[in-house]
Amino acid sequence: MHAFDYQLLPIKVAVDSYCFFGKLENISKKNAGNMVNTCFVQTQKGFVVIDSGPTYNYASQAYEQMQKIAKIPVKYVLNTHDHDDHWLGNSFYKSKGALLIGPRTYEQNVVTGMETRMQRSLGNVLYGKTSIVDLDTIVDDTLSLKVGEKLFEIKQLEKVAHTKGDLVIWLAKEKTLFVGDLVFNGRLTSLRDGSLLGSLATLEKIDAYGAEVIVSGHGFQTDAGSSKNFKEYLTELKKEVLKALDDDIGMEEVSKQVIMPKYKEMKLYDVLHVRNVLDAYSELEMMEDEEE
């Protein structure tokens, strides 16, 4: 009996690739952290999981669904970045013998025994058996991983984008690209650990792949145009904040100036937009100071 039933349903997004799509909302006890997308790819040698999710319990239930598709082991777990909603299921897969792969920032920022954001939000009952485990392989730039008949090309596209260690996973034959939180759709992003300029540069590189399927860390859209609205938001944010700087509008007033009303209907606008404006202002102001 699980402490929380995540009611996970795998959705096929490409050949041999499936995802569980989370809710477009913040972490809460009501959703037990089920506000993130996690995926898995079936190969001849076993499954490759892309992001393990918010808890041990979540990963356990995801594994149960995988076994209904094929009774094969999970060989690897690929972690796209170090935000805890994406990797706290690692300990479950480690118990099943999977090898864990992720960015250098995981090693730098994830400390065994630390209290995670998820733990604080959910409490001990929902957090359950979740624990922090080390990665087996660190990706500093690129890594090619052959599993059965499939080649996973893992790459960091920019030094700083959503975080300082975002990885994409490219399946060239299937033209499928898993991008983690480098793309959001249906809700706003957070720039708190990243860079507006780096995010925009990364989106250009994502477009250059020519992927037919793009799977983000949050949001339900997976077609080739799934990053369009997200890029428009960041581009307009940059334009409006730069104008505010040109008009000598201070940080204490900029959030009142840069409202961007057409995005008000996006999920988490009320929670994240003002913070994004302030983070963008700090970054762009620094850039202008360096250019003087």
Instruction: Kindly state the percentage of the chain with pLDDT values over 70.
Output: 98
Q: How many structural domains is the chain composed of?
A: 1
d(CA 36, CA 26): 10
| Structural domain that includes position 63 | 11-230
Q: The domain that contains 84 carries what CATH number?
A: 3.60.15.10
Predicted local distance difference test score (pLDDT) of residue 1: 72
pLDDT score recorded for residue 288: 62
Is residue 215 within 8 A of residue 174, CB to CB? The reply is no
Give the model's pLDDT for residue 287: 80
CA-wise closest residue to 30 among 124, 117, 115, 126: 126
Domain assignment present for residue 182? The answer is: yes
In a domain, 168, yes or no: yes
Q: Quote the pLDDT of residue 168.
A: 98
Instruction: Tell me, yes or no, whether 286 lies in a domain.
Output: no
Indicate whether 125 pLDDT > 80: yes
Residue 260 resides in a domain = no
The whole-model pTM stands at 0.97
- Residue 247: pLDDT band by 50, 70, 90 thresholds? very high
Band of pLDDT at residue 162, cut at 50, 70 and 90: very high
Q: Are 166 and 154 in contact (CB under 8 A)?
A: no
- Cβ contact 203:189 at 8 Å: no
Q: Tell me whether residue 154 is in a domain.
A: yes
What are the distances in angstroms from CA 47 to CA 16, 141, 153? 10, 23, 16
Q: What is the DSSP letter of 114?
A: P
Asked whether residue 275 is assigned to any structural domain, the reply reads no
- What percent of the chain is helix, strand and coil (3-state, nearest 5)? 35, 25, 40
Please give the Cα distance from 281 to 276 (Å, whole number). Answer: 8
- pLDDT at residue 292 above 90? no
DSSP of 208-267, one letter per residue?
A: HT--SEEEEEE-S--BTTTTHHHHHHHHHHHHHHHHHHHTT--HHHHHHH---GGGTTSB
Cα-flanking dihedrals φ and ψ of residue 15, to 5°? -60, 120
Distance CA 136, CA 63 (A): 20
Residue 248 lies in a domain: no
Least Cα distance to 232 among 179, 189, 279, 175 occurs for 189
Establish if 67 belongs to a structural domain.
yes
